[in-house]
Structure 1
Amino acid sequence: MSYVGPDSDGYFDGDGDGPRRPRRFSGGPLTVALAALVPTALAGWLIWQVVGGPGENEPAKTLPAASQSSTAGADTTSPSPSKSDDGKKGDGSPSATPSKPKSKSKPPASSSKPAGSGPLKGKVVVIDPGHNPGNFRHATEINRLVDIGTNRKECDTTGTSTNAGYTEAQFTLDVSRRLRTLLQQQGATVELTQNGDRSWGPCVDERARIGNKAHADAVISVHADGSAAGNRGFHVILPASVNSGSANTTAIAGPSRDLGERVAGNFLRATGSAPSNYIGDGTGLDVRKDLGGLNLSTVPKVFIECGNMRDAKDAALLTSGAWRQKAAQGMSDGIVSFLRG
């Protein structure tokens, strides 16, 4: 965020031929001779094939209930696909007969795989990856003014970038995905406001509504700043107490401050980055009433500016995958601390 101006089904089908059956014998001298040359048990088996075995067009016999129960614990369904950052996914289903691959549609941005067990089981967290990599192609759409309670403001912006061209939108989406994984491991249900699956946006008012609709226990909007070189460090933005038009943060200002303080402390601990030297008077905290994503929220929410993309030293951190993992860990630790009280 810049302060200029006010995130083939595989299947196993064997050879497709089904089980082979022994050739049916028609009786007579050949059968008698063969029965005389093999053990009694084998002769009995051959007689069963002649008299009682399934014919070519008869259905195969089903297993008795006891035999079927022995396979009840086998996994005959496709495992839940794991989705990687590039959206590739695959699964397999061991089947005795061929089946057509199932088509899979991409889940919406707000979807989340079921939460597991952990200290955050039953908690809902919404992560808001700031901006969108495609925003610059949609100037008309993102420049549209939307109501943020205190005034009207642009739907969204393109965000900033490093001098080498690594964009804020790329950064926020990567960190948000890492953060999602960490929170899911703690048992939380996690939703993203966008997951690189839409061409632009969403607008700031819609981003707020996504968290509200999810009845989120906590929301964090991930950003990086675009300030002057020499300005370094992170800061967490808290909602001011606002009650104007469609904005009313009076109920969430206190809990949001608690969330922000915990995120700031744990972010510092995990990354080793210092609080901002140009915003927040060294506290790493900043209170604002001009951000629609905060003004319109009805659930605890904060923004985090992870560093200054226009400063070479901060940019070296922001472009490091190892550092971005630490950043995600710091945010996760802060959110876990807040939700566990």
Structure 2
Amino acid sequence: MSYLGPDFDPPQPRRGRRRALTVAATALVPGALLGWLVYATVGDGGGGSGDAAVRTTPATTPPTASSTQDDEKPSPAPSPSGAEPLAGKVVVIDPGHNPGNFRHPSEINRQVDIGTNRKECDTTGTSTNAGYAEAEFTLDVARRMRALLEKQGATVKFTQDGDRPWGPCVDERAEIGNKAKADAVVSIHADGAGAGQRGFHVILPGKVAKGAADTGPIVAPSRALGERVAGAFVRVTGSAPSDYVGGGTGLVTRQDLGGLNLSTVPKVFIECGNMRDSKDAALLTSGAWRQKAAQGISEGIVSFLRG
């Protein structure tokens, strides 16, 4: 998913790996420091950075399975001593886009109110150069997360589970989390930046008070959620924060996303990597790595909800 918005950070200049790690180690949330030690050890094998200020043309062909995908299934992590630390908590997972969106251009191009302005209902998302669609990636990671979080006792709800022909629109995605009175909402994405740009970043809601949008009450808890997710993602996957947005912190604040603007509960987006970069694509199309991504995001959510 590539976006261009009013508070979108400009692309950052490429830096040497040692300097990037030094900046990130001081700027990223404290919980990520251990993860950086892991990253420094694994090097390129753990991931890199990626997102662009130029919107990538969405895929216009049916999603196809990548030949590099494997069939590893979600495997719930055992909870300690049989405890269910998230009992009574509601987590909403928002798998970005929908595999069927490309068949419904008129529906997904319809403009909806996002508070600050009007924007298209949804997009098709991006894909790897080999044709593995972002919408397939997001559903797979979301389903793996569900298995992990339910094992921890959470009630998990999806905005869509491949069970509808298109959408939902971004305003409806926000409303699903609101109606569920979710304790945390995470929207799963992968980016469509330029080749050579790598890494993940977590998008936080900026303060918006316009029209139907009033993010003031959720800005602080959403940042806390985003910091926990970013820290756990680094530690579990070994991936580095984006080298093109966020200044090496892995955190970006935006005011142009309806899914965040219209939320009344803590919510963040995560761009797990850049599908248009061959090294990031090799990770994103690996079932083993997607399991790590799901685990990292889930552990961030658990950490946030347990305080």
Q: TM-score normalised by the shorter chain: which range applies?
A: 0.7 to 0.9
2:126 pairs with 160, 164, 186, which one? 160
Distance in structure 1 (CA, Å) of the matches to 2:118 and 2:103: 22
Distance in structure 1 (CA, Å) of the matches to 2:108 and 2:165: 11
Matches within 5 A, 1:223-234: 223-234=189-200
1:207 maps to 173
TM-score (norm 1): 0.67
2:281 is the alignment partner of 1:315: yes
2:22 maps to none
Deviations 1:87-146 (A, max 9, x none): xxxxxxxxxxxxxxxxxxxxxxxxxxxxx9600000000000000000000000000000
Whether the 8 Å CA contact 1:3–1:227 is kept in 2: the answer is no
2:151 maps to 185
Deviations 1:139-164 (A, max 9, x none): 00000000000000000000000000
Distance in structure 1 (CA, Å) of the matches to 2:173 and 2:83: 28
1:291 pairs with 239, 257, 276, which one? 257
SS in 2 for 1:281: helix
SS in 1 for 2:227: helix
Distance in structure 1 (CA, Å) of the matches to 2:223 and 2:230: 10
Matches within 5 A, 1:234-273: 234-273=200-239
SS in 2 for 1:197: coil
Distance in structure 2 (CA, Å) of the matches to 1:5 and 1:231: 19
TM-score (norm 2): 0.75
Matched residue type, 2:101: N
Q: CA deviation at 1:4?
A: 5.7
Distance in structure 2 (CA, Å) of the matches to 1:161 and 1:155: 19
Aligned length: 234
Distance in structure 2 (CA, Å) of the matches to 1:293 and 1:177: 20
Consecutive unaligned residues of structure 1, counting only runs of 5 or more, are 7-84, 87-115
Deviations 1:28-61 (A, max 9, x none): xxxxxxxxxxxxxxxxxxxxxxxxxxxxxxxxxx
Q: 1:195 to 1:332 in 2, by over 3 A?
A: same
Deviations 1:5-30 (A, max 9, x none): 77xxxxxxxxxxxxxxxxxxxxxxxx
Consecutive unaligned residues of structure 2, counting only runs of 5 or more, are 7-71, 74-81
Q: CA deviation at 1:2?
A: 1.7
Whether the 8 Å CA contact 1:175–1:325 is kept in 2: the answer is yes
Distance in structure 1 (CA, Å) of the matches to 2:163 and 2:225: 28
Distance in structure 1 (CA, Å) of the matches to 2:147 and 2:295: 10
Matches within 5 A, 1:12-31: none
SS in 1 for 2:175: helix
Q: CA RMSD in A?
A: 1.5
Matched residue type, 1:135: N
Distance in structure 2 (CA, Å) of the matches to 1:337 and 1:117: 15
2:139 pairs with 173, 180, 193, which one? 173
2:93 maps to 127
Distance in structure 1 (CA, Å) of the matches to 2:241 and 2:99: 27
Whether the 8 Å CA contact 2:84–2:152 is kept in 1: the answer is yes
Q: 1:4 to 1:251 in 2, by over 3 A?
A: closer
Distance in structure 1 (CA, Å) of the matches to 2:135 and 2:87: 30
1:336 pairs with 292, 302, 306, which one? 302
Deviations 1:303-323 (A, max 9, x none): 000000000000000000000
2:238 is the alignment partner of 1:282: no
Q: CA deviation at 1:3?
A: 2.6
User: Which protein, 1 or 2, shows the higher relative CO under an 8 Å CA cutoff with sep ≥ 6?
Assistant: 2
1:22 maps to none
What percent identity do the matched residue pairs reach?
A: 79
Whether the 8 Å CA contact 2:236–2:296 is kept in 1: the answer is yes
Q: Which has the higher helix share?
A: 2
